[in-house]
Structure 1
């Protein structure tokens, strides 16, 4: 277990300055938050734009997409950060090849770790790699709020929130308390993944978060030996879902063994293969998202 930063972090969890929403409710309340005695949505200090990357389904490559998008923003000259909001299964430390305990600022805020020009914060920096976070919902929500509001980002053009699977407490806490500029939903073309992705889209609509669009991951596999294209999980499932939901289709990311290998070794494709077709796809996706949220590349 980590020492000073983690102990300070745990002590902060006993505070609840923001007021937690009730968990377990089946419907999202229509009564304004202020009338319910809850705080208004608030921005994250020194962060210009915030987007959430979600899938509502595990195993579809959402964290890999989120990291490569963050790296693409950084390559385009934006001051970029990524926040791992998955308390139980953080992926960002592995994907960005980061480890070690964050330092604390003079104001007792966590200072993000940095690699490849992207600032990152994750509960994984505060616990041992093999140590499970065995917390109940209330502790998880408090931990999330501290990661959101007790991190010193030092000035960002864009912060990417990597959301965990599902549409539960973490997602509702973020969408009801953070000023989000939009959400990106990731899915494979497979029906079993799309059904959960559609639930995620519906959740964002219910809480009035702008949906920037959907990304189809693992869209096609190109055999390296014969150059034959195979749609292992189906061909156009995400595009059809976007048409049915009346939301933008942002683009495709192929099923590529190198993308997986790059992620596992902590050097994502946008960094390790900057001139590759898949890196170009991520750069194009980043450009589309920037336009949708009104961000310009640094000159």
Structure 2
């Protein structure tokens, strides 16, 4: 993982957030949050860490639930996210929302993922805090109270298109090992080419040159697709040939069975004929003796 630059100055920049509310529900617990429909979630070898990634200049989406465990109503005036690139994303209600004791409120928050120039990939994964602002009344004039600290995270990444492409291409890398078990020469050759491009692209990727890495990993991805096509085409042809051979052998042995069955029946008929012929001579002999 590359060095992380920590932002120490919090710029109090208000940015409108579209925020949708569901109906409040009673719940035994609260204070949960999750990123919704990220473009990538999982291990990233560049950071050697698990990440939640959104493509730059597309919407990120966060859902959270908060329960008022206190004995008094809480008047929520805003939901606020602060990211370590020094920016607050804040939604302020037109009038404070009163949450009664024991009630859980669910919030769905989304906003635009900044470009990587603003939230550099080399800094990531990014740190963030989630705050709930509240006031002492629901009608003006009201005074601000100390914000409620909701939670924090250290997994957010704004992804360039090349970075995201690399992550998606690398998902196929494990298929290469499977190809070496194929008995089809073309598949094994394509697997070797794919392995080389994955190794080269992966090394460049870990160095942070996502554009150059993407070109090699895209080539590896194409070799994997070609290997799958070759395995499907030639493997199916081999299966068809083996099936035809098996059917031919079955037909041959069935024919042999019919032949030997017919031969057996003929032998039985012949044996009966000789038996009757022998009995005829016996009766003739007996007739001569009696005469």
Q: Normalising by the residue count of structure 1, what TM-score does the alignment of the two structures yield?
A: 0.22
Report which of the two structures shows the higher radius of gyration computed on alpha carbons. 2
Task: Kindly indicate which of the two structures has a greater share of residues assigned to helix.
Answer: 2
Q: Normalising by the residue count of structure 2, what TM-score does the alignment of the two structures yield?
A: 0.23
Task: Kindly indicate which of the two structures has a greater share of residues assigned to strand.
Answer: 2
Q: Compare relative contact order (CA 8 Å, sep 6+) and give the higher one, 1 or 2.
A: 1
